[in-house]
Amino acid sequence: MERRGLSLAEIQEVPRESLILLVGPPGAGKSTFCHQVVLNGIAAERPVIFVTTEQSPAAVTELMRERGLEEAVALNFVDAFTETVGLTCTQSPETICANCADLNSMSVAIDKLRQRVGQSHVLLAFDSLTSPYLLNKEEIFRFIRLCLIKIAAEGNSVVALMDEGCGKEEDLGAIMSTADGILKMEIKEKSRIINVIKHPRLEPATTEIPTSKASASKIFDTALWDPKIMNQFSEALRSGFGGELERRFAVNLFWPNFMRWSGMLWDPKRFPMMTYEIWKQWGALSGVMIPLFPWYVRLFYKLYVPENFSKVKDMKKLWQLFGRMWDLRHDGFIKYMDSISKTDEHYIRAHEYYECCGFDNIGTTTASMLSAVAAGMCQGFEKERRDWNAVETKCVGLGDPYCEFKLVPGEVGELKASLEKDSSVVENIHERLMNQLVEFLINGKPLVERPTLGSDFMMSGNIMIIAAGERYRMAMRMGGAKSGKEVGERLMNWGLNEDDTIKRVIDFMNYCKVGKVTMDETIRITENRESVFTKYYMTKWEEPSCLFTTGFFNGLFSAVKNKHVREIKCIAIGDPYCEWEII
């Protein structure tokens, strides 16, 4: 018989000789729960080892300080995140570096820290198993048995986290079957639910924890934008984006789709929603940035743009104003459907749209940028500042001959269901992209080509990182690491040697116009498409923005040459090119 209302203190106590698995969707509060378990262990003067796979030790420590960790206390970390994604891991007596893609390195690092902290009643916190699982599906169960279960059996306590919805249900079930206890977390509108499914000491129970509503994400900070650059951009718009500017942004559509669906693996439910909201903010910037444009642009907007876009004639006027932008970018053939639109319900149709091309009948909608930007543009330009949204009603991914979305003011009930993805669908899309890539690299089979527009369009770079949260950035970094590792392994399995594998991948990146990629002692990319947009507009950005590319290089070199790659220069922060050293 299930009882309700266990105290958090009871649930957060991890018994000796036990592996407690905490499962739930991303964002359910698992890491917060884990941090409190660690704080409780420190208060009880237990030796603690914290394995972090999705954040740096510095980020975890900062969060722990906010929750009461004393300044004098130094945590013992196995850092399996930093090196995995190509960042600099600094080893110290309290921190040992490992790699999520190499489970043996994680086992060795944990053993080394156990020897340092002592063998008596250690608390091992593992946040989380998701990345090691996605990077090593065939080996993760052996790692759990020979490392985590073994540590627990030796008189220690282990709490490990695992995301629901980021892999196969049967795999999660198999992982859960290895645990001595299972705590399952759920999210409700104003609370988090902890279900004790099984436990060495507790009966099945449910506990509800009230939560405060998260504040809405802040729109892009326009202080980052340089008015001089905006003047240059407006002149480029008037001249039709020709010449140098168009060449600097052109990229093969395979690359950004490869990036997006690789990152999606880490959070199939929230990642599409995050992407939609970020692109929506990006669209709203068109209105926010008006004061940064030259006087004649501001006057044109004032005289031409209607008060609101409820009526078909006014939405048509807005789309005539911005429709040329889509044409110049070569995103697709985009048309406002005034014949089927009506007041406060507008329809936009797209043929050969870059986000959907090549994903025919994949079983889900695949576009997000166009509809989100359109909704943001309406919100940004309207003086009423209504909250607009857009949802795909047709998509080539669902077997339709074109993509079409509905644009309305206010909330759209079916939007969330349309954007969220099932992990099996995401894995199928990722597998399709990997197969296309390997066929190209081995047999020279062409990548995706649109019948009329061809394969190139003007990529907006990784500008979304400015508004993206840590979860989004982690997914992009880890998605790159997984895809790079997988490409390297597949090419080696085909019989290619190490140098030929690396050369073919570099040639592929040049073919995709990722930038001009060269390699000798280091790897350099001039006009890197992932960063050039940040540099082109923002003179005050201070962080390298090559999230996916760095992870991709690191995964590739880890698999092929057992080496690591880290970014040492980035055009986003003012360097003349992006550069990675091979360690």
According to CATH, the superfamily of the domain at 3-210 is: P-loop containing nucleotide triphosphate hydrolases (3.40.50.300)
Please name the residue that has the structure tokens 């979305």: 405
Task: Please name the helix (run of DSSP H) or strand (run of DSSP E) that holds residue 177, with its range, or none.
Answer: helix 169-177
Q: Are the C-beta atoms of residues 234 and 289 closer than 8 Å to each other?
A: no
Identify the weakest region by mean pLDDT among 67-76, 128-137, 218-227, 279-288: 218-227
Residue 99's pLDDT band (boundaries 50, 70, 90)?
very high
pLDDT at 234 over 70: no
Q: What angle do CA 457, 370, 293 make, to 5 degrees?
A: 80
Phi, psi (deg, nearest 5) at residue 345: -150, 100
Q: Chain-wide mean pLDDT for the chain? A: 87
Is residue 124 helix, strand or coil? strand
Give residue 71's pLDDT.
84
Bridge partners (DSSP) of residue 342 are 345
Give residue 339's pLDDT.
96
Per-residue buried b or exposed e for 307-323, using 16+ beta carbons within 10 Å of the residue's own CB: ebbbebebbbebbeebe
pLDDT at 219 over 50: no
Residue 571's pLDDT band (boundaries 50, 70, 90)?
confident
CATH 3.30.1380 in the chain, residue ranges: 215-250+461-583, 269-420
Give residue 208's pLDDT.
87
Residue 185's pLDDT band (boundaries 50, 70, 90)?
very high
269-420 — its CATH code?
3.30.1380
Strands 205-210 and 191-198: antiparallel
Q: What angle do CA 31, 36, 42 make, to 5 degrees?
A: 125
Strands 157-163 and 123-127: parallel
Q: Are the C-beta atoms of residues 98 and 109 closer than 8 Å to each other?
A: yes
SS (HEC) of 57-101: HHHHHHHHHHCCCCCCCCCEEEECCCCCCCCCCCCECCEEECECC
Per-residue buried b or exposed e for 125-146, using 16+ beta carbons within 10 Å of the residue's own CB: bbbbbbbbbbbbeeebbebbee
Selection from 206, 309, 330 nearest residue 320 by Cα: 309
pLDDT at 294 over 80: no
CATH 3.40.50.300 in the chain, residue ranges: 3-210
Percent pLDDT > 70 in the chain is 87
CA distance 59 to 81: 11
- Compute, in degrees rounded to 10, the torsion defined by CA atoms 339, 341, 347, 352: 0
Average pLDDT for 432-439 = 96
Identify the weakest region by mean pLDDT among 124-138, 260-274, 520-534, 538-552: 538-552
Sign (positive or negative) of CA dihedral 253, 257, 260, 263: negative
Write the CA distances from 309 to 71, 251, 279, 371, integer angstroms. Answer: 54, 33, 20, 15
**Both tokens assigned to 165:** 């919805």
CATH 3.30.1380 fits 215-250+461-583, yes or no: yes
pLDDT digits (tens, 9 = 90+) for 451-492: 999 999 887 655 556 556 788 889 999 999 999 999 999 999
Average pLDDT for 139-163 = 96
Q: Are the C-beta atoms of residues 339 and 317 closer than 8 Å to each other?
A: no
pLDDT at 218 over 50: no
1 CB-contact burial (10 Å; exposed 0-12 / middle 13-18 / buried 19+): exposed
pLDDT at 1 over 50: no
Percent pLDDT > 90 in the chain is 64
pLDDT at 215 over 50: no
Which DSSP symbol is given to 342? B
Bridge partners (DSSP) of residue 192 are 187, 209
pLDDT at 101 over 80: yes
489 CB-contact burial (10 Å; exposed 0-12 / middle 13-18 / buried 19+): middle
Average pLDDT for 248-273 = 91
Selection from 375, 446, 386 nearest residue 415 by Cα: 375
CA distance 342 to 315: 10
pLDDT at 2 over 70: no
Identify the weakest region by mean pLDDT among 196-210, 397-411, 430-444: 196-210
Is residue 404 helix, strand or coil? strand
Selection from 126, 197, 119 nearest residue 163 by Cα: 126
Write the CA distances from 457 to 218, 252, 514, integer angstroms. Answer: 29, 7, 12
Average pLDDT for 275-302 = 75
Average pLDDT for 185-198 = 89
Average pLDDT for 384-394 = 92
Identify the weakest region by mean pLDDT among 38-52, 231-245, 354-368, 499-513: 231-245
Residue 170's pLDDT band (boundaries 50, 70, 90)?
very high
CA distance 59 to 132: 19
Largest CA distance in the chain: 75
What residue type is assigned to position 144 of the chain?
I
Identify the weakest region by mean pLDDT among 32-36, 314-318, 353-357: 314-318
Write the CA distances from 543 to 55, 512, 575, integer angstroms. Answer: 16, 25, 11
Q: Is the pTM higher than 0.75?
A: yes
Q: Are the C-beta atoms of residues 33 and 12 closer than 8 Å to each other?
A: yes
CA distance 154 to 149: 9
